[in-house]
Structure 1
Amino acid sequence: MKLTIDVVMPSFRLEEKYVLPVLRLPRPDNAVIKFYLMADNPDIVPAESIRALADNNDVFLYINEKNLGASGTRNRGISVSKGDWILFLDDDVTVTDDLLFRYAAAAAEHPDEIGFIGLIHFPPPPSDFARALMVNGNVNIFSVAANKPSFTWGATANIMVKRSAVGDVRFSTDYPKAGGGEDVDFFLHVRDRNNEQNFRSLPEAAVTHPWWDDGRANYKRPYRYGIGNSRLGKYNPNYTYRNLPNTPETVLFCGITALVLLFTAPGWVIPVLLFAVGSLPVELAATAVMIKKRFPGSSFGVMFHVTILKLVNDAGELWGKLTHGEFSRITERFDDTGTIKKNTFFKTNTYKIVKWVLYLLLLTLLIIIWRKP
């Protein structure tokens, strides 16, 4: 019996230059391949070239009656498809002719795997911001197939899962519509459902992903990812642990402390607020030292962008918890590597040491100044 693989591609744009090469991919003889284009844009008018290929036999085109977002659209793709394997591809990846052959061969050779993580290449970084995304680890998951034999989850830009392993697990809609955290949540739940079996890496199955906004600085995406990541601990509590406050949390605690001092010891309000302001250059300094150690030769522009990326992501996580009234989850961290109840509260590294030494120096300086008669 032949393998059955369904390619599910959610898309808002249905751009011909990306979609058509996928639909025209050479198909291996040992597999039945069907394509499911899931258009999450009720107003879209698909190009004639795409409609011509949508024969409702090998290629199916579904247009959502309303915008369902990343999770809802992928869930619909899972529901309308029937194949034994589901290959998720983003709508902006460039594919190679052997992609389906690689996945089909892996499924045939390793039928007991719950899924295969494909490799996602990026072009050389065109800007300091793009380099900062690499240095900060924002795109590490895209290359995880090249660095680990297996992992707990993979980016939905290029990953294939076994339908029987997925079962009734679906992408949660309690994450940002445009994406952020829902893929981690989905694959971890699939993993947990299968006795914590990891997804096998398949670096031979490679695609190329363009830089978002052509590498121009845009902090909306990491902020949205931060908001999405704030939900992970709630739905996957076994993967959480506590850590020292990050900079946005420190600023929040300073603000609360200043508010209390306003009614109890108003003379100390200003130094507390100055400490909150001082935490920002401390973050920059600690990040710069860390980057210089791990990535020698990085420019100041890269260090600056990495600092802002960290602050924006952490602020998104904090905001996500605050808006849901989950105050007890502040300082909670999430470990997506599959380590259960990991505790790194007192674990140190260069970044932490520099940061907290500078915090102590700043605090000492402010106390000395404000205690002078």
Structure 2
Amino acid sequence: MHHLSKSVDIIIPSFRLDEQYLLPVIQLPKPADWAFRYYIVVDNPGVKVSPAIQQLADAGAIQLFINPENLGAAESRNKGINAGNGAWILFLDDDIVADNNLLFAYTAAITKNEQALGFIGLTDFPDPISSFTKSVDVAGLTANFKIANIKDEYMWGVTANMMYNRAAMQELRFSDVFPKSGGGEDVDLPVQISIRHNSKFKCLKEAKVTHPWWNNGKAHFDRFVRYGVGNAHVLPRFKKYTWYGFPNPIESTVLLCVLAPLIIYFLSWQKWLVLVAAVWVFEMALNYIRASLKGYGTLTTAYYMTRLRCSVEWGLLKTGLTLQGPRAFMQRINVDFSRPHHFRLNRWRITKIILFVILLTILIIW
């Protein structure tokens, strides 16, 4: 009989059930004195189970659940949590490539710190393979996946590679208020746990997996809109951590549309158009500079960066207004859930504001 503290439930929500990724994860080398149980929850009623995976399920090597309807990422993970009873719960994505020592790294960390809330592994990405993936990287949209590289502890990590202490999780689960397609729920749960215990998850860069570039590195923006939608659901759940900031390009455009009658009346519709265009020209220009500082300075990269950031901001704004009304406008939350300033300064936004004020002054005088 294995000691309970040496038991790990590995939960993998899946849609594709792609054996090229799943089989190596199931076959990972394992410490001899630990018990591991796999719970693969398929959120796709029409999935075709490959013979190799069906054989593992029939042999009891994995527990395979196929949802009768699409329940979403949060509920699928909850199903895995509730099916198991391991002292530790490791969440992995169904399309990652894990280092061979992954389970050894986690179990060694548990042995050193049995009271930890859990551990945030490193989810790395390959080197950028296109202008689009360079833009994703420079825009900071992979930063939270790689947080274990730069922090010793943090309040949350992505569920592509993260371990929870079941005793610390208690009755808390992934919330069903978040979109079924995922986004936000992987922030919400660990932060709830961190706040409850007044502690943080340990970062563990030795526990590494590699995540492939989404969509084979080709341009797409719906995922990043979903990130914004997820963030919008996080904000009202952690109100004391929220603050207000300078308007982003989406909010600036909305403001200019609201103020259009006044601007057109006092200036002209041509000057109003110049102001709207300026919002986007300044954004593109500063993104070009930011990309150049990372060695990726091309107009294509600047364009993709602008669209990526605005995809997140559009998802955040449209959902925020639906959930909270006008108070969501220009509302922000620090990703590390540090105490907010009432209004935070940002050199890029300040630069854009100054340029915009100079342009407005010229238009008024002209």
Contact map agreement 2:88 2:165 (CA 8 A) in 1: yes
Equivalent residue for 1:34, pick from 17, 33, 37? 37
Q: Tell me what 1:225 maps to.
A: 227
Where in structure 2 are there 5+ consecutive unaligned residues? none
Contact map agreement 1:34 1:58 (CA 8 A) in 2: yes
Q: Tell me what 2:354 maps to.
A: 357
What letter is aligned with 1:39?
V
Q: C-alpha deviations, 1:162-184, integer Å up to 9, x for none?
A: 01111122112222211111111
Following the alignment from structure 1 to structure 2, what is the Cα–Cα distance between the partners of residues 119 and 300? 31
Following the alignment from structure 1 to structure 2, what is the Cα–Cα distance between the partners of residues 147 and 261? 46
Following the alignment from structure 2 to structure 1, what is the Cα–Cα distance between the partners of residues 233 and 341? 18
Q: Tell me what 2:316 maps to.
A: 317
Contact map agreement 2:39 2:65 (CA 8 A) in 1: yes
1:157 partnered with 2:160: yes
Q: Tell me what 1:339 maps to.
A: 338
Which structure 2 residues correspond to residues 1-373 of structure 1 after superposition, within 5 A? Answer: 1=3, 3-55=6-58, 57-195=60-198, 197-259=199-261, 265=265, 268=268, 271-292=271-292, 294-296=293-295, 298-345=297-344, 347-349=345-347, 351-369=348-366
Following the alignment from structure 2 to structure 1, what is the Cα–Cα distance between the partners of residues 216 and 97? 15
- Mean alpha-carbon deviation: is it higher for 297-306 or for 36-45? 297-306
Determine helix, strand or coil for the equivalent of 2:146: helix
Shift of residue 57, structure 1, vs aligned partner:
4.2
Contact map agreement 2:124 2:145 (CA 8 A) in 1: yes
TM-score in terms of structure 2 length = 0.94
What letter is aligned with 1:362?
L
Contact map agreement 2:291 2:301 (CA 8 A) in 1: no
Contact map agreement 1:239 1:336 (CA 8 A) in 2: no
Following the alignment from structure 1 to structure 2, what is the Cα–Cα distance between the partners of residues 238 and 31? 41
Following the alignment from structure 1 to structure 2, what is the Cα–Cα distance between the partners of residues 186 and 338? 13
TM-score in terms of structure 1 length = 0.92
Contact map agreement 2:333 2:340 (CA 8 A) in 1: no
Following the alignment from structure 1 to structure 2, what is the Cα–Cα distance between the partners of residues 323 and 276? 24
Aligned residues: 363
What letter is aligned with 1:23?
I
Where in structure 1 are there 5+ consecutive unaligned residues? none
Following the alignment from structure 1 to structure 2, what is the Cα–Cα distance between the partners of residues 269 and 303? 28
What letter is aligned with 1:131?
K
Determine helix, strand or coil for the equivalent of 1:140: coil
Determine helix, strand or coil for the equivalent of 1:326: helix
Following the alignment from structure 1 to structure 2, what is the Cα–Cα distance between the partners of residues 101 and 159? 14
Closer, same or farther in 2 for the Cα pair 1:269/1:174, shift >3 Å?
farther
Contact map agreement 2:263 2:272 (CA 8 A) in 1: no
Following the alignment from structure 1 to structure 2, what is the Cα–Cα distance between the partners of residues 228 and 273? 32
What letter is aligned with 1:25?
L
Determine helix, strand or coil for the equivalent of 1:304: helix
